Homo-oligomer: A and B are copies of this chain.
């Protein structure tokens, strides 16, 4: 019940024990195409270029940034927590000219602030997170895409922590690139990063296309500045997932099976229903922890549905309490990074854990641990408050 990675949906794990087939087997390429179609629904996009990066969510972020940003390109990064710092750090390593705006941890930017910064900096790319798990904040992003399109600025959004647990509409919001991971609301293990790119983003990436020696054919002329990474070169990865099926990496088939199953389950449920499920169980958890006397952290008007942060009560050893939750009840909850390390606990309700029994069991255990640590929550208050939300 931490902020992710979380335990996976058993149906996803079962799909991952299926036997492998060759990477150019007709069934395999059909399965890759099916997975692309499923993730279009998950991202709510018609983007043809919707596929998987073989690595963790961080690999997806780096694939997007290293493929879009040439050395010297200007990028604007709004930082609302640790994962904004990560975008900055990756963009710096790409050699980009990185401009940062910051908001205190526990708050988000007003979209008008973002628009002002975009107009001032005039970046090639605006790169931001939607949900920053380090603070639990969910950055509003429904308006900024249109502003950026008007100015010819590409938008990149890291939706790893938020996708499927919070509203996200790539095309309606006019966003160009989004990357995710399986290990949060998608209910799978880390290790595959779904990504989607608009046609405009694909044009930028393909403007830097350099086909590998040894598989290059006539007409495969080098274009533009070579992308600094081979493994995360989206131009090459698009050729691998596209009709040419140009050999690149060896697709991580078991992760593909997992990613496909995550998306199948979500599409079967419906994306709106999945968001509503996260809202319901997140609300129940939030009501429960508040009723246990814990103080919520951050701007509650802008939290993600799938994770709540609470301040660790004075006099309570936060790490010892977390250890007791794990050892005595088999339940993991998290602390956070940087300025929030040891100051807050983060409790997730995401993916397979966005379930009534998971929420109520966690609250029952937390009441025990808080009482053992010397605080005095009203008996049964947490569970009762959550049950009221369910009622």
Asked whether, in the complex, the Cβ of B25 is within 8 Å of the Cβ of A5, the reply is no
Sample of 17 further A-B pairs with CB below 8 A, known A56-B252, A62-B230, A214-B338: A6-B20, A22-B332, A54-B56, A58-B230, A58-B248, A58-B249, A59-B231, A62-B229, A82-B214, A85-B214, A90-B231, A189-B252, A190-B250, A190-B253, A215-B338, A247-B337, A254-B255
Query: Within 8 Å CB of A252, what residues of B?
Result: 55-56, 189-191, 255
Shortest CB distance A336–B (Å) = 10
| Binary B-proximity of A47-89 (CB < 8 A = 1, otherwise 0) | 0000000111111011000100000000000000010011011
Query: Within 8 Å CB of A191, what residues of B?
Result: 54, 191, 252-255
Given A17-B16, A191-B191: A25 in contact with B332 (beta carbons within 8 A): yes
Q: Whole-angstrom distance between the alpha carbons of A94 and B95 in the complex? A: 12
| Binary B-proximity of A312-349 (CB < 8 A = 1, otherwise 0) | 00000000000000100000100001100000000000
Asked whether, in the complex, the Cβ of B231 is within 8 Å of the Cβ of A232, the reply is yes
Shortest CB distance A371–B (Å) = 24
Given A10-B19, A14-B17, A93-B230: A250 in contact with B214 (beta carbons within 8 A): no
Query: Within 8 Å CB of A57, what residues of B?
Result: 249-250
Query: Within 8 Å CB of A18, what residues of B?
Result: 13
Shortest CB distance A211–B (Å) = 10
Contacts of A229-287 to chain B: CB distance below 8 A? 229-232, 247-255, 258
Q: Whole-angstrom distance between the alpha carbons of A56 and B2 in the complex? A: 28
Complex: chain B residue closest to A58, CB-CB? B249
Q: Whole-angstrom distance between the alpha carbons of A247 and B22 in the complex? A: 34
Shortest CB distance A22–B (Å) = 4
Shortest CB distance A123–B (Å) = 19
Q: Whole-angstrom distance between the alpha carbons of A89 and B231 in the complex? A: 11
Asked whether, in the complex, the Cβ of B8 is within 8 Å of the Cβ of A20, the reply is yes
Query: Within 8 Å CB of A58, what residues of B?
Result: 230-231, 248-250
Asked whether, in the complex, the Cβ of B22 is within 8 Å of the Cβ of A2, the reply is yes
Query: Within 8 Å CB of A86, what residues of B?
Result: 212, 214, 230
Q: Determine which residue in A10, A23, A134, A213 has the highest number of CB atoms from chain B within 10 A of its CB, and name it.
A: A213
Query: Within 8 Å CB of A143, what residues of B?
Result: none
Q: Whole-angstrom distance between the alpha carbons of A247 and B93 in the complex? A: 18
Query: Within 8 Å CB of A288, what residues of B?
Result: none
> Can you report 23 residue pairs joining A to B where beta carbons are below 8 Å apart?
A6-B20, A7-B19, A7-B21, A20-B189, A21-B332, A54-B190, A54-B191, A55-B231, A56-B231, A56-B249, A58-B231, A58-B248, A58-B250, A66-B229, A85-B214, A90-B230, A95-B228, A191-B255, A215-B337, A215-B338, A229-B229, A231-B232, A254-B254
Q: Whole-angstrom distance between the alpha carbons of A281 and B326 in the complex? A: 48
